[in-house]
Structure 1
Amino acid sequence: MSDPEAAAQPPPQVSHRGRSAAPIASSNADGEEVPEFEPFGLMPRGPPPLKEFLDIWDVNMLRKPNEVNKQQHSTYLYASDHLIVRRGQEFQLKVTFDRPYKPSDDKFAVEFVIGGSPQFSKGTYIPVSVTSDRQSLWAGRVVDSTDNVVTVGITPAPDCIVGKWRTYVAVVTPYGIRRTRQDESRDVYILFNPWVAADSVFLDEGNEREECVLNEVGVIYHGAFDDVSERPWNFGQFDYGVLDACLFIMDKAAMPITNRGDPIKVARKASAMMNSRDDDGVLVGNWSGDYTYGVAPTSWTGSTEILLNYSSSKMPVCYAQCWVYAAVFNTFLRCLGIPARVVTNFFSAHDNDGNLKTDIILDENGRIDKQRTKDSIWCGPASVQAIKHGQICFPFDAPFVFAEVNSDVVFYSRNPRDGTLLPVKVNSSHVGRMVVTKAPGQDTRRDITDQYKFSEGSPEERTVLEKAEEYGCQREKATPLEADVDLDMPLIEVRVGDDFELKLEFNNKSGQARTVDVYVSGNVVYYTGVTSSEFLFKTPKVTLDPRKAEKKVIQVRSQDYMRQLVEQANLHFIATGKVKETGQIVTAMRVVTLHNPKLSVQVSGLAKVSEEMLVTVEFTNPFKFNLEDVYVRVEGPGVMPPKSKHYSLITAGSSLTWTESFTPRREGPTKLMASLDCAALRQVYGQAQLTVKP
């Protein structure tokens, strides 16, 4: 028997003692009071006579959006009253003394401190001298000295810690160091700098840098490679509170302050923190279709609301799916100055354990064996060059990402007697068919497949696959004979709620008649490729004359698939069959993207900074059924914070009109983005462009 009193004992106290002399600083929010006067050794009673030495009257951080620092550092878009600069590049501040500064007699420094227990050796305490004979890790100089005002230039090291630094001005006297008292308004945020070659995040192509750091409005692509759908997203990296929320994510992860100058460590830690399963991270994943206790993933219009909710509640936000994780992670990276973009791969091999095969198992009749087919077709940072060249030994998830874009879809026929699997068809081009992202400076998509892989069938591709095999990736070597009957399912465009015809086109290339027993399966699938439910199963038989083609038409009714729909729903049709005369297998796959109705978004009023405007969102229910428990959201970077409205019912054929006021806070081109979401209808979006005048 166990002792109940012993079982109730608290766990032993965990201590860092024996490993380090003090706890590792892991919070940017922590800070210690720096003494206003730090004596050199023992002092006699009473205050020292300091009147003859420099006294600091004022420190101007030059932190306004139209002043030199934010303009030169491309940080004027941040909705923050604090100074925000980028490392490896000079910024300026003005110090007003009680008398003119005399370089020969006076000694002063600007001190920067981050985190708790700051130390010079750790790079968390940086004293910056303005004289050439006392330079530190950060360069300092006097830019100008007029009357009592000295303009100081500070250049943080290009690999310094990224975060919120406290700033002090210190004057050296024979008795000790006299400092300004701590003032939060003098805190300075130092970010990564893709404009400076010495920074490891440097990006030399101007248009790419503009897009991947400064652009707030993104496009996320989904659907099928030959029928691409898109939705807008407000990354909102400059919105009020977002920068602090990004720093909080690193604090929440207890990431050591000293690691926060390394973009790889920052990106890897933040990637893990996007998911609530890691250290109570930002977002709770949910693919169930039940979002009662949160926001449906398809309802979000941007990252701002998610990040602000997380930083204020200190709790994970409900709910997300993959594109939400990607978009919020993209916001985090751009906000801190790391160039980033959201990429969509059509189609990804997600459940392949890092091998190069996505297996589809057929029974002896050519029908898919659903019990044995487990793979589906749909990361931490990995080198894109390593992925393209098969160097999957590189950290951190290179084997996984390589397989995502290079797997073959292999059809196996299972022998019912002994369970052995015989490869009967290999499709080497379905996975990784196309990789896209938003084009720099435009709302069009850009095909970047060639950045991740060489052309299908090229000598370079064969070399890369052989290289990957050397590192342990397995792929199917067999080359089954091609069937002499071709099967194709042509592309069709379908609006959600419509009945439609699915066409199967057969072509007999042989000089003899052929009979094909076909199995056609229609499934509602998540954007990941994982099957939600099968809504259609047909077994047509096709007889083909020699060297003739034949079409079969299958009627698909909306009432069969509408009740099964999930978010970002696609319909996935797979046709498999066996040629009676030869035993050969024929297969075809088609992803049908369901196109949703659009929201109308209109703006009215004078588009001018600080002038009130109106946005009107309109929607008409085009279906024969009611929409219940409907949420509408709208937001726009620099002009409108996220707002939402709930409608309990939108009856069939009826319309809603929602008008909301907003006041632009800055000039320039921007967008308002809106979404409508309910259980019966996901992925309904609209947007309006406007250019705000000063």
Structure 2
Amino acid sequence: MFRSEHPRRSSSHHEWRHNKENSNALADDVPEFQAYDGTPRSQMPDGEKESLNTITSKIKVSDHHTDLFASPNLIVRRGQEFRISITFDGPYNPSKDGFYVEFRIGVNPQIHKQTAIIVSPNQDNKGPWQSQLLENKGNIIEMGITPSANCIVGKFLMYAVVVAPTGLIRDKENSSEIYILFNSWAPDDTVFMHDDTERMEYVLNQVGTIYCGSISNVMKRPWHYGQFENGILDACLYLMDDATIPLISRGDPVVVARQGSAKLNSQDDNGVLTGKWSEDYSHGRAPTSWTGSVEILHLYASNGVPVNYAQCWVYAGVFNTFLRCLGIPSRVITNYNSAHDNDRSLKTDIIVDCNGKIDKKYTKDSIWNFHCWNECYMARPDLPLDFGGWQVVDATPQETSDGLYRCGPAPLYGIKQGVICYPYDSPFVFAEVNSDVIFYKRDKYGKLTKVSVNETYVGKMLLTKAIGQDVPINITELYKFPEGKFEGERLALQMAESYGTEKDRSVLPKVDVEMKVTVKPVTLGEDFQLVLIFQSLGRSLYNVDVFVSGNVMYYTGVSGPEFMSTTLQVQVDPSRQTTATVDVRSEEYMNKLFGHGNLHFFITGKVKETGHMLNIMHPVSLISPQLTVKVRAIVLIHWSTEHSSGSPESHLDTCKRGLIFQVFEFSSGSTFHHLTFPWISFCTVYFLFLSHDP
């Protein structure tokens, strides 16, 4: 192929920081006439002008599930036929007229790398792309072209090329840009899904719900993925350029998802989002203020500067947009009580000081109230057969993998079975849902004594949005066997240990008293009670000294200021449960709250008769008060005066884009929904109502 010295640039003004050989933003400025002897010519010889020439070309796309894209560009899915209609300046004769269609991507495209593709109406169908002549109406022919089911995903330039006696004549005037995406409808594509309802949800749905809060108070955040919005597809292709994904690897969803997880965070490569888990967001926006991915991707694609700020659900929401936009089925997962195990040992170590409080200085591991990541659906031809399907990927920067902050794709099947030897990052994900919580008491000399182990606290529940419904589904059983009930759990842990993880096997003294804590749902500003429940496991009467401390807490498990502490003595009768209550007043915690409104209680008990230690951690996520809005007419909030139109019975619906909450339909006078805000903050709320009626 002819190689131009001057690559053609696309509209992105910062594209030149990309590697030119691996950039989809750059393309050769190919000549209109290309002589067979390789001699560059500014124009074709006069004799060639009498050859058959193309006048127009038009691509027809149907049933490619790309009609939702708000883009004038031609967008198709690989492994599925599209049609091209070409008009010549004379009748086309297949027996004597040489002609083909050329697809090119990147600089210096080459056929053996499949960055240059040639398809002909007379092709013998041995090439990677298939073609057929569907119709010949003299001057107009129609071809069917099927990109291979593993072809490169990206933006191609398409040319109609006439084979003349001394060279090739390209119709540059009628060249077209065509975007080719992954195709979960194509059986030969590695992202193929059998169920159409799953494809509708995991590829085509532009809105979703991300779950947060705590195990005792699940909360939700509506999120506008907007993968079909104007400019988002180009932004996603820009991300692949910026992540320096080789063009020849962009047909592999494993590579795209892995490199994408690194590029979504700015930790080491100036990626899309800057993470921040403190309360100072003065140089950006608070993570809680984002309600969708579109603005974030537009901002990053416009200047290549990381967008401030994000936390786990923002990373997961934007990553979901990236994956769905390119055609990879994906969903957001929330893991409640998610371990951040720094050494991947299946042990989360909590150090308790002499006063019964968590020692912040020496406790390095953390347990997040919740953590969001993504799953993407694909075959894994690089792994044994059962390891295809859902794969865990995580863009939140927690630990490095092969030198970059990224995670996955880790096969979900392997995580459940404990077969964590296969790529990528399965041991880390396995620890997030299976770690033991080990409590140590540190004496005044620094000596650590192991006092208790909780094997069921971590990975308590995993949720994702249900297909076609705005409700959560519990998918914990996809990650782990039920705690303590099946042989599968034991075998999975043994298997994981055989691949290098380390589970605690120490023997502790027999437990003589069990302690549990319950708290009813708490609304912000309410007083409430902790109910401590004690059960003797022997026949003796026991006396327990109990210490309770309460801190405000980031959802990542990092403690903030202490707002209360108290002690009590409890006598535990062997014949029945014994309860004790601890009152918590709102004035104790209200002036110390931040972020999500999380409280964290640590309860320590010491059995006087045996010296046995009891330890419980209990997070409480405060519920925001409901907001009720009464609408008597259509009000345009942004205007200085109220305007109303239509009859009082006009049918109303809320605006679909840029809102914190999803779309609801309702009639005048009806109560249509209660809105609960998923954060603790002062804010101004705007409502915009649109009428279906003129």
| TM-score, structure 2 as length reference | 0.82
Structure-2 residue corresponding to 1:470: 498
User: Given the alignment, which residue of 587, 598, 611 partners 1:583?
Assistant: 611
Q: Does the 8 Å contact 2:635/2:689 carry over to 1? A: no
After superposition, the Cα gap between the structure-2 partners of 1:672 and 1:598, relative to the gap in structure 1 and judged at 3 Å, is closer
Q: How does 1:16-165 map to 2 (within 5 A)?
A: 25-41=21-37, 47-62=45-60, 69=61, 71-133=62-124, 135-165=126-156
* In structure 1, distance between residues paired with 2:569 and 2:56: 88
* In structure 2, distance between residues paired with 1:639 and 1:34: 46
User: Given the alignment, which residue of 463, 473, 482 partners 1:455?
Assistant: 482
Give the deviation of 1:456 after TM superposition. Answer: 1.1
Q: Does the 8 Å contact 2:628/2:674 carry over to 1? A: no
Give the deviation of 1:267 after TM superposition. Answer: 0.8
* In structure 2, distance between residues paired with 1:562 and 1:522: 13
After superposition, the Cα gap between the structure-2 partners of 1:76 and 1:604, relative to the gap in structure 1 and judged at 3 Å, is farther
* In structure 1, distance between residues paired with 2:466 and 2:609: 51
After superposition, the Cα gap between the structure-2 partners of 1:497 and 1:342, relative to the gap in structure 1 and judged at 3 Å, is same
Give the deviation of 1:24 after TM superposition. Answer: 6.1
Q: How does 1:529-544 map to 2 (within 5 A)?
A: 529-544=557-572
Q: State the secondary structure of the residue aligned to 2:198.
A: helix
Give the deviation of 1:95 after TM superposition. Answer: 0.8
Q: Does the 8 Å contact 2:352/2:441 carry over to 1? A: yes
Q: Does the 8 Å contact 1:601/1:687 carry over to 2? A: no
* Match status 1:253 vs 2:249: no
What amino acid does structure 1 have at the position aligned with 2:424? F
User: Given the alignment, which residue of 212, 225, 228 partners 2:202?
Assistant: 212
* Match status 1:480 vs 2:508: yes
Give the deviation of 1:101 after TM superposition. Answer: 1.8
After superposition, the Cα gap between the structure-2 partners of 1:638 and 1:383, relative to the gap in structure 1 and judged at 3 Å, is farther
Q: How does 1:282-293 map to 2 (within 5 A)?
A: 282-293=272-283
Q: How many aligned residue pairs are there?
A: 613
* In structure 2, distance between residues paired with 1:589 and 1:546: 24
Q: Deviations over 1:211-236 (max 9, x none)?
A: 11111111111122232111100011
* Match status 1:393 vs 2:421: yes
Give the deviation of 1:447 after TM superposition. Answer: 0.9
Q: Deviations over 1:546-583 (max 9, x none)?
A: 43443322222223222332322321212111000111
What amino acid does structure 2 have at the position aligned with 1:278? D
* In structure 1, distance between residues paired with 2:676 and 2:245: 35
Q: Deviations over 1:462-505 (max 9, x none)?
A: 01111111111111112434533222211311111222222222
What amino acid does structure 1 have at the position aligned with 2:27? G
Structure-1 residue corresponding to 2:389: none
Q: State the secondary structure of the residue aligned to 1:392.
A: coil
What amino acid does structure 2 have at the position aligned with 1:234? H
What amino acid does structure 2 have at the position aligned with 1:450? E
* In structure 2, distance between residues paired with 1:344 and 1:685: 27
Q: Deviations over 1:613-668 (max 9, x none)?
A: 97769xxxxxxxxxxxxxxxxxxx99755489xxxxxxxxxxxxxxxxxxxxxxxx
After superposition, the Cα gap between the structure-2 partners of 1:484 and 1:677, relative to the gap in structure 1 and judged at 3 Å, is closer
Give the deviation of 1:509 after TM superposition. Answer: 4.4
Q: State the secondary structure of the residue aligned to 1:306.
A: helix
Q: State the secondary structure of the residue aligned to 2:408.
A: coil
* Match status 1:426 vs 2:424: no
Q: Identity over the aligned pairs, expressed in percent? A: 48
Q: Does the 8 Å contact 2:27/2:105 carry over to 1? A: yes
After superposition, the Cα gap between the structure-2 partners of 1:550 and 1:488, relative to the gap in structure 1 and judged at 3 Å, is same
* In structure 1, distance between residues paired with 2:197 and 2:21: 38
Superposed CA RMSD:
3.3
Q: Does the 8 Å contact 2:551/2:562 carry over to 1? A: yes
Q: State the secondary structure of the residue aligned to 1:349.
A: strand
After superposition, the Cα gap between the structure-2 partners of 1:131 and 1:323, relative to the gap in structure 1 and judged at 3 Å, is same
Q: How does 1:164-183 map to 2 (within 5 A)?
A: 164-181=155-172
What amino acid does structure 2 have at the position aligned with 1:502? L
Structure-2 residue corresponding to 1:489: 517
Give the deviation of 1:415 after TM superposition. Answer: 5.5
Q: Deviations over 1:168-190 (max 9, x none)?
A: 00011112111111557x20000
Structure-2 residue corresponding to 1:266: 256
What amino acid does structure 2 have at the position aligned with 1:155? T
* In structure 1, distance between residues paired with 2:637 and 2:357: 51
Structure-1 residue corresponding to 2:270: 280
What amino acid does structure 1 have at the position aligned with 2:179? Y
Structure-1 residue corresponding to 2:215: 225
Give the deviation of 1:448 after TM superposition. Answer: 0.8
* In structure 1, distance between residues paired with 2:147 and 2:508: 62
Structure-1 residue corresponding to 2:376: none
* In structure 2, distance between residues paired with 1:114 and 1:569: 50
Q: State the secondary structure of the residue aligned to 1:248.
A: helix
Structure-2 residue corresponding to 1:522: 550
What amino acid does structure 2 have at the position aligned with 1:78? F
Q: Does the 8 Å contact 2:150/2:189 carry over to 1? A: yes
Give the deviation of 1:375 after TM superposition. Answer: 1.7
Of 41-50 and 468-477, more deviation after overlay is shown by 41-50
Q: Does the 8 Å contact 1:129/1:136 carry over to 2? A: no
Give the deviation of 1:103 after TM superposition. Answer: 1.3
Q: Deviations over 1:653-686 (max 9, x none)?
A: xxxxxxxxxxxxxxxxxx999997998458x999
Which residues of structure 1 form unaligned runs of 5+? 1-22, 63-68, 606-612, 618-636, 645-670
Q: Does the 8 Å contact 2:291/2:659 carry over to 1? A: no
* In structure 2, distance between residues paired with 1:133 and 1:174: 22
Q: Does the 8 Å contact 1:601/1:674 carry over to 2? A: no
Which residues of structure 2 form unaligned runs of 5+? 1-18, 369-406, 639-652, 661-671
After superposition, the Cα gap between the structure-2 partners of 1:173 and 1:368, relative to the gap in structure 1 and judged at 3 Å, is closer
After superposition, the Cα gap between the structure-2 partners of 1:380 and 1:46, relative to the gap in structure 1 and judged at 3 Å, is closer
Q: State the secondary structure of the residue aligned to 2:420.
A: coil
Q: Does the 8 Å contact 2:20/2:26 carry over to 1? A: no
Q: State the secondary structure of the residue aligned to 1:287.
A: coil
Of 103-112 and 298-307, more deviation after overlay is shown by 103-112
Structure-2 residue corresponding to 1:335: 325
Structure-2 residue corresponding to 1:234: 224
| TM-score, structure 1 as length reference | 0.82
Structure-1 residue corresponding to 2:362: 372
Q: Deviations over 1:566-605 (max 9, x none)?
A: 3223212121110001111223332212111345689999
Give the deviation of 1:52 after TM superposition. Answer: 4.0
* In structure 2, distance between residues paired with 1:106 and 1:421: 87
Give the deviation of 1:356 after TM superposition. Answer: 0.8
* In structure 2, distance between residues paired with 1:676 and 1:459: 42
User: Given the alignment, which residue of 273, 282, 299 partners 2:289?
Assistant: 299
After superposition, the Cα gap between the structure-2 partners of 1:545 and 1:672, relative to the gap in structure 1 and judged at 3 Å, is closer
Of 154-163 and 558-567, more deviation after overlay is shown by 558-567
* In structure 1, distance between residues paired with 2:147 and 2:326: 15
Structure-2 residue corresponding to 1:16: none
Q: Does the 8 Å contact 2:75/2:181 carry over to 1? A: yes
Structure-1 residue corresponding to 2:468: 441
After superposition, the Cα gap between the structure-2 partners of 1:33 and 1:318, relative to the gap in structure 1 and judged at 3 Å, is same
Structure-2 residue corresponding to 1:629: none
After superposition, the Cα gap between the structure-2 partners of 1:408 and 1:188, relative to the gap in structure 1 and judged at 3 Å, is same
